[in-house]
Chain A
Amino acid sequence: MEKQVLRLKVNGEEYEIFIHPKTLLVEAIRDHLGFTGTKRGCDTVSCGACTVNVNGMSVKSCSILAVQCEGMEVATVEGLEVNGKLSPMQRAFLDNGSYQCGFCTPGMLMSSTAFIDELGGKKPSEEEIRESIEGNICRCTGYNSIVRAIDAVAQGKYKEE
């Protein structure tokens, strides 16, 4: 029915898009704004490939109406790299081989980044790390390399110089 204007910030930039209210956040991000790093997987809140961070919270963008994010700040995997420099989590994923096919990686990076931010410097247990990516399915790695990468960041091994 009627299209409407949606204003939101994605990766620090302000955007105005003209969308149907039934547009999902993942469709707004991929199809309207062209950030195709965010993947569409199961489309039923199960796999976590579509995870983005809204106002710092990880959410599954396949099951949120874009219009519900009016005025909010959305971060996608494209926003992790700043001035050509990969984020600590991205570097840790590279060093630990935390991906194979790569389909889950954008979602994994967003979940784990939100997790580290929420910890605010506190050191998590291995169980807490595993719980933090409970909503993200990976069919390649067996998760251990991903857990190692998150642990390395949590231990401060990728602190900015």
Chain B
Amino acid sequence: MINDFHYLKPASLKEALAMYAQYDDCKVICGGQSLLIVMRQGMLAPEYLLDIKHVKELRYIKFDDKDGLRIGATTTHREIEKSAVIARKYPVLVAMEGKLASIQTRNWGTIGGNIAHADPAGDPGPVLIALKAEIKFGNADGEKTAPLDEFFVDYFETKMEHGDLVLEIHVPAPDAKFGCAYQKFNLLGSDMGIVAAAASVALNADGTCKEARIVLGNAGPTPLRVTKAEDLLKGKKLDDKLFAEAGQIASEESQPVADIHASEEHRRHVLGVLTKRMLKKAFEQAQKAA
């Protein structure tokens, strides 16, 4: 049963920020695909609910060859999945969205809401961090920008403070020789990952690794970058042996907990395998690119 609340429906972003600053016991709803579940469980019972679902200024997808991709916070998952420019420039995002929950959830749920909810098992977090995304958030007094990997603080906690709204996700234009891949391990295609791994690889002109990112999902309190495994690859000529070694390190660096779906040991094992496979896939894409 959902507790009573006062419903606030701002007509613009400015009004939304002003309202949020004004009310202390206030939560923000956008698509509500995560929020309403926790409200029904009684885990959240705010006095005020601020609905930004229909704040139009935050609903956009923009791409520019130099600047990269900018997605407004209230853009739905389905709009990202169906975007022709994202399919062309960041196919990994379309593939990830295609496996995020169900069509019904993607039709109503938003990227900003997903990121603000900060569930470490969420799909967009690891992929966006592998793509080196930044996040813009702000309140009535101003805006801030942070690399997305520094934005997540703990389970369901972010750098945002009361009054802050997620405004925009910015994904930089990819390097010329760049690849990125993501896979989650689950029993039903539309479920959250029991564990997941995203990997990206950028290559130098001579074919050596310029930069690699490995980000694990549901393997700790936040989407988890495994930097020791990343460092192993930098500057090297990549091959299967290195991918396997990076997978081993990622498995050791991960911090999964056991639950009804899998033991810690099993999760570590699968994280290692997924890391190895996603690195290889990203590497092969980077080789083919440009």
Contacts and interface: CB of A to CB of B under 8 A. Distances in A.
B74 to A, nearest CB: 12
A63 B102 contact: no
Interface string B152-196: 000000000000000000000000000000000000011000000
Given A65-B51, A68-B53, A1 B104 contact: no
B23 interface: no
Contacts, number: 82
User: What DSSP secondary structure best describes chain A's contact surface?
Assistant: mixed
Contacts of B49: 21
B95 interface: no
A44 to B, nearest CB: 6
Contacts of B33: 45, 63
Interface string A53-68: 0100111100111011
Contacts of A54: 108
Interface residues of B, number: 28
B107 A58 contact: yes
Nearest to B190: A134
Contacts of B51: 65, 67-68
B232 interface: no
A63 B6 CA distance: 18
Given A48-B104, A111-B103, A135-B102, A63 B36 contact: yes
Contacts of A134: 102-103, 189-190
Interface of B: 2-7, 9, 29, 32-33, 36-37, 40, 49, 51, 53-54, 78, 98, 101-105, 107-108, 189-190
Given A24-B2, A64-B36, 17 more contacts: A1-B4, A1-B6, A4-B7, A21-B5, A45-B37, A51-B104, A54-B108, A57-B108, A58-B107, A64-B32, A65-B32, A114-B103, A132-B103, A134-B189, A135-B103, A135-B105, A135-B190
